[in-house]
Every structure is written in structure tokens, then in C-alpha cells.
Amino acid sequence: MYFSHIEIRSLRNITQSTLDCVPAINFIFGANGAGKTAILEAIYLLGSGRSFRTHYAKELIKDSADELIVRARFSKEGGTEHQAAVLRNRRGDIRIRLDHEDLRSTGELARLIPLMVIHPGMHELILGGPGQRRRFLDWGLFHVEQGFFAVWKNYNHALEQRNALLKKGGQDSSIQAWTDALTEYGDRLTAQRQGFVESLCERMRYWCEFFNVGGEVSVEYRRGWDKQHSLAEALAHSLPQCVRYRTTTVGPHRADLKILLEGTPAKSRASRGQMKMLIYAMVFAQLDLHRELTGEHACLLCDDPVAELDVNHQTRLVEAIRQTGVQAFLTGVEFPHLPTDPRDARFHLEEGECISDGPPIASK
């Protein structure tokens, strides 16, 4: 999948701007505060209906406007071209269109537009709570496993209903029906996640070496309850605790990825530089696996890699993009050391307007 044309209106400091994109690397440069990250936010909106920086729609919309609009043309691997649009207003309402027809949910468009983003806050993937890592894992499953979203949705519905009963002090008999549903979908969700993690780990070994993380990296899936028991047993044993705390204390909603460096949790052992490279390895392992399992390329958004990486790792980043074949959008104040190619494009952002600079200067 790759974008060929993107239009942005009234998003942050962008009044109106367009990009005619290339399938390779699209470099977007400009001064701090020019709106470079806003371009990436606009693209991310198309694949998720939200920003990767804020959950509040009103923060995205330009002060002088009531709504923002992002439109795009994109093509799938077989050459089929689509037109998509996302509109959000200050109330948080969202309207999504695909090929001139309204869609019911962001998920319908998200499946067609797989996006991965690397931004300065990505260290939370290692340092943050389990929810960050579950979302990272479930992104891959959502795009490669046909039945995953239905299982995930049914599990979370059962969890919501069970917790609602627990909050009201429901009796065991009324809770049991939702416990049965939670067990059914939780077992299926766990099996899908465990299989995916095994495949992801295989790719991570390669990318950890590619980015020279340093030290042996391993990833373990923690399913969210004692491995000595089945989910049904764990839910039964934990019921008194669930009643006391009025919430379900075990299950896949508490799962985690334990990321180890030399057998020790990476968050306590890895240096800041190792952590950055580990995150890049995780992202490219996802991109690699997505391409292998779907036959499609995802799109990579990378916010200010020059500020985050040394010259050697900037070069490795570009090599990784070319190797995986993904379309990429990279932002920065400038790109003095990044290797470029005639197939790439450069855009200069001034006062919220993107100006094509034509093909980049050949790498020295």
C-alpha cells in the first residue's frame, strides 16, 4: 500500500497543504514549529481516526476552523486505487469515507491503510505499561489475522459486562454467563497472540543484529494469569478477589510482552541508545512480518529521526526502509547525512504549506 496524493486542511497550523507522494521515502523538512509532525498526524488519522499525540480532536483543529479534513489517494499492491477522507470536528465527531461512501467505523479504513509510526515518545513501548505493548502486538494481529478483530471485540465486550456486574455487586450466578464468554474468547485471543509473538521473535533476532542493539534480546508473552492454570480455572479462583476489587483481575486484558536484554528486563538494563535501536528492531520486525503474511507493504511514519539517531543509525534506518520496501515519511529540520535516492521526494514545509523540492540531492 502506498499514498500517491494527500490533502490536509485546518490541522494544527496547516491551513491547506498537499503532497504528491512517491512510493519510496518522502522527506519532509522545515524549521521547528513549521508543522512537520502535523503532516504525520494527518496521515495517521487516515489509518486510525486519531492522532498519535493527542486523544482530543479540538487540539488538532486549527484555531480559526470548526473542523479538519484529510483526503488521500492510495493504491494497493495489485494496483487498485482508492480515495479516502477523514473529517473531525471540535465536538469529536468523525466522518470517514472510502471511494465516496461513508464507513461505519475507523476499523474498516484502518485495515486498508496499515501504518506504523516512530516518534520521540516511543520509548514508552519499553518503559511504559503493558497496554502500550498489547497495542503494539494487536496491531500486527489486526492486519494479518482475519478473525482477530471479532475475537478481540467479543472478549472486550464480555469483560465490560462482567466488570459492570462486579461493580454492582452481582451474584456468582449472574456473573457466570459473562465468565463463560470471557473464557471462550480469552482462550482464542491468547492462542492468536502467542502464535504471533513466536513469529515476531524470529524477525526481531534479525533486526536486532541489523541495528546493532548489542546483547541477546528475547521477548516473552505473559498471558495475564498464572501459567499453571487454565483461564477458566484462573477466573474461578480469582472470583473472590474480583468481587472485592469490583473488576476482573486476570485474563488477556492484563497480558504483556516481557522484553529482555541478556536475560534482564530491557527497561532496567538497556542504555538509551540500545532502547532506541530495540524499538526500531521491533517496528521493522512488525513491518517485515506484515509484508510476509499479507503480501502488502505497510507505511512507516518517522518523526525527526535525525534528532534521535547518530549518523550511523540514520543510515541504517534508510537501509532498513529500502530493504523492507515500505513507503516512508520522514520529518526533520534537515537531512544532512541521510542517504538518498532518485526515487525519493523532498518537501519543504513553510508556514504550514508543503512545497515540493523535487528529487533530493544525491548522497555523497
Which among 76, 221, 72 is positioned nearest to 141, based on CA atoms? 221
Q: Are residues 261 and 319 in the same domain?
A: no
Q: Are residues 196 and 150 in the same domain?
A: yes
**Percentage of residues of the chain with pLDDT beyond 90:** 70
Which among 47, 71, 52, 63 is positioned nearest to 14, based on CA atoms? 63
Report if residue 51 sits inside a domain. yes
Report if residue 124 sits inside a domain. no
Domain of residue 355 covers 1-114+297-364
* Burial zone of 302 (CB within 10 Å; 0-12 exposed, 13-18 middle, 19+ buried): buried
Residue type at position 39: I
Q: Are residues 161 and 275 in the same domain?
A: yes
pLDDT tens across 86-110, in order?
A: 999 988 889 999 999 999 888 888 8
* Burial zone of 258 (CB within 10 Å; 0-12 exposed, 13-18 middle, 19+ buried): middle
Count how many domains the chain has: 2
Report if residue 97 sits inside a domain. yes
CATH number at residue 219: 1.20.1050.90
pLDDT tens across 243-296, in order?
A: 999 999 999 999 999 999 999 999 999 998 899 999 999 999 999 999 999 999
Report if residue 327 sits inside a domain. yes
Report if residue 121 sits inside a domain. no
Q: Are residues 268 and 319 in the same domain?
A: no
SS (H, E, C) 88-125: EECCCCEEEEECCEECCCHHHHHHHCCEEEECHHHHHH
Q: Are residues 359 and 261 in the same domain?
A: no
Report if residue 119 sits inside a domain. no
Where is the domain boundary, 295, 323, 352? 295
State the DSSP code for 21.
Answer: -
pLDDT tens across 229-251, in order?
A: 999 999 999 999 999 999 999 99
3-state secondary structure of 259: strand
Q: Are residues 244 and 344 in the same domain?
A: no
Where is the domain boundary, 234, 267, 295? 295
Q: Are residues 246 and 335 in the same domain?
A: no
In this structure, what C-alpha cell is assigned to residue 87? 473529517
pLDDT at site 361: 42
| pLDDT score of 364 more than 50 | no
Q: Are residues 275 and 183 in the same domain?
A: yes
* Residue located via cell numbers 550511523: 312
* Burial zone of 18 (CB within 10 Å; 0-12 exposed, 13-18 middle, 19+ buried): middle
Q: Are residues 30 and 110 in the same domain?
A: yes
Q: Are residues 278 and 302 in the same domain?
A: no
CATH number at residue 2: 3.40.50.300
Q: What is the pTM of this model?
A: 0.91
Where is the domain boundary, 244, 265, 295? 295
Report if residue 72 sits inside a domain. yes
pLDDT at site 169: 80
| pLDDT score of 362 more than 50 | no
Q: Are residues 136 and 277 in the same domain?
A: yes
Q: Are residues 191 and 247 in the same domain?
A: yes
Report if residue 28 sits inside a domain. yes
